[in-house]
Amino acid sequence: MAEGAAEAPAESGGGGDSGASAPERGVAPIKPQYLTTKEQFHEFLEARGEEKPSQETEAGDPGGNDLVEPEAKRIRLEDGQTGEAAEPGEQPQVQKRARGQNKGRPHMKPTHYDNNRLCPSLVQESAAKCFFGDRCRFLHDVGRYLETKPSDLGPRCVLFETFGRCPYGVTCRFAGAHLGPDGQNLVREEWVQAPPVRNGLDKALQQLLRKRKVRFERAEQALRRLSRDRVPGPSPAAAVPKVTGAESAPGQDSGDTQQALPGPDAGALPSGSVWTRGPLTDEDVVRLRPCEKRKLDIHGKLYLAPLTTCGNLPFRRICKRFGADVTCGEMAVCTNLLQGQTSEWALLRRHQCEDVFGVQLEGAFPDTMTKCAELLNRTIEVDFVDINVGCPIDLVYKKGGGCALMNRSAKFQQIVRGMNQVLDVPLTVKIRTGVQERVNLAHRLLPELRDWGAALVTLHGRSREQRYTKLADWQYIEQCVTAASPMPLFGNGDILSYEDANRAMQTGVAGIMIARGALLKPWLFTEIKEQRHWDISSSERLAILQDFTRYGLEHWGSDTQGVEKTRRFLLEWLSFLCRYVPVGLLERLPQRINERPPYYLGRNYLETLMASQKAADWIRISEMLLGPVPPNFVFLPKHKANAYK
């Protein structure tokens, strides 16, 4: 699971006077001439930089509420506790500001996109009539659609300029760039090229997965071997659990009606019940030995962590441009992949610039994980497959996945060995120090993972219980390097500068994984490789956001739904970018990842705007790049304090 993408870190340190000379613990040391108060900060932004207020700052207010402390980070009082004793007859205290993870936000897709939506048969200019006929719930009148369609957001279409054709036609929010005089969709034949994205979901395969008609022969053989070789324990049936509901494995119907998976070079699935065509190769009858598998040589490389929500394909392209060597897709739930869910398969997509790329799977049972590994081994192109044993959130942990596998060693062993037997690419594992804060488990698991067949392990130097309340334990990671040898061990945690990276490499790890540091400053990879601090300007940072929006429109689409999806992922990323403090404003280098920025005025208006922790200001930045937000726009991020309505 992503570090920082699932929850906001609990930064250490309390409030203090903005004009205090002594640096506060947990607060970024900014030069005094840039410090300001909360009121002056927001007044400056509201005035849009027309008149810069005085740089002099006031002392903390007498009531004890520090003006420098961001409103979303004030120390929360316990339930029923107030700051001062309430006098008789006084009004009750105003309700406290919401904090923590926004678990109450809806987990459903917005439906307003379907209102007055044009039928896909017209968008794609298909010669055939709509398959649904009169039962189709979409519009078939282009003139009526254009009457309600919002105005274009700009004169240039990214998809048309990049690929020579925009597949969204008249529904594109930049349609003026590629619509002819009669409303036809123009195509530049000399520019037309296939999108440089791999690992898509074939429609025929999706139908077979939904009908549970895919046969997993190698996975079933591996599970039978694991069942026979299993150490005597509880019930024999526990080796391959028969589960129902979300964890039930597709493909448990009668073998006579199931389809075998195609080979890696097959263009489509077989139409018959058994795959019989083609020559018989050694791969069909001889299982690869561990020494014959592909090798994963990433020693000393910079590894971008799989970041849930924010680690999408456009963001990975940004990081690749700044020097990330290894990338990994967002955490994908194995049961959702086995059910053929389009949204889950989208997490496996790979851009052509990602030369070393892997996918991360999450699951709690050997049968679903092994079958999913076989499915991916035959259908997508990856350099490695990673098992998520570090996800701390309750939704995953209570089902037995993520960190819970560290306490379920029997199931953990079966998952690793089963997946390793069906994969032709290396298998890696990402773990934490343990589940409880003072009970480390990693040093005991690492030798076992080496024996089970893991090619590489990444260790995040925190426990599940600890989350982000303390710094990562790199001393413990150094001890684990010896326990894992000769298996390579990557370290992860609290890397935000090249000095942090250098100290991490001195522990003996084979390489470092970067998570939150990349969210705060994606140019961190360049800083590490060039061994310097980059005082990047606000205009350069805005150019990075412009590239992200362009990549987002390529990936999610240029129609209304694609534009708003790009905007929402941009806003999620801005919730991390606002915590970066420019190098030229710091009294002491480098900024540490557990130091929150106080209120400060940047060297120009844009730099100040990018430092705001209000969602309304993030919306303003997104409007610079993607045009105005639609009416009744609601942004419900993962953190309650940043909700925008």
Cα separation, 93 vs 87, whole angstroms: 11
How many residues are listed for the chain in this entry? 645
Cα separation, 149 vs 473, whole angstroms: 54
The residues pairing with 429 across neighbouring beta strands, listed in sequence order, are: 387, 457
Residues 6 or more apart in contact with residue 224 via CB below 8 angstroms: none
Helix (H) or strand (E) holding 333: strand 327-333
Cα separation, 346 vs 329, whole angstroms: 10
Cα separation, 221 vs 229, whole angstroms: 12
**Contact call for residues 563 and 603 (beta carbons, < 8 A):** no
Q: For 365-469, list the strands marked E by DSSP.
A: 384-389, 427-432, 456-460
291 is catalytic: no
In this structure, the dihedral spanned by the alpha carbons of residues 435, 437, 439 and 441, taken in order and rounded to 10 degrees, is: 40
Cα separation, 2 vs 208, whole angstroms: 31
**Contact call for residues 541 and 534 (beta carbons, < 8 A):** no
Strands laid side by side in the 357-362 sheet: 302-304, 511-514, 489-492, 456-460, 427-432, 384-389, 357-362, 327-333
430: closest CA among 469, 396, 386, 470? 386
Cα separation, 251 vs 477, whole angstroms: 40
Q: For 411-560, list the strands marked E by DSSP.
A: 427-432, 456-460, 489-492, 511-514
Residues 6 or more apart in contact with residue 377 via CB below 8 angstroms: 264, 385, 422, 423, 424, 425
Cα separation, 101 vs 49, whole angstroms: 33
Burial of 607 (0-12, 13-18, 19+ CB in 10 A): buried
Burial of 102 (0-12, 13-18, 19+ CB in 10 A): middle
- Of 391, 403, 480, 578, which residue is the catalytic one? 391
Cα separation, 38 vs 195, whole angstroms: 46
**Contact call for residues 608 and 53 (beta carbons, < 8 A):** no
Bond into 630 cis (ω within 30): no
Positions marked catalytic? 391
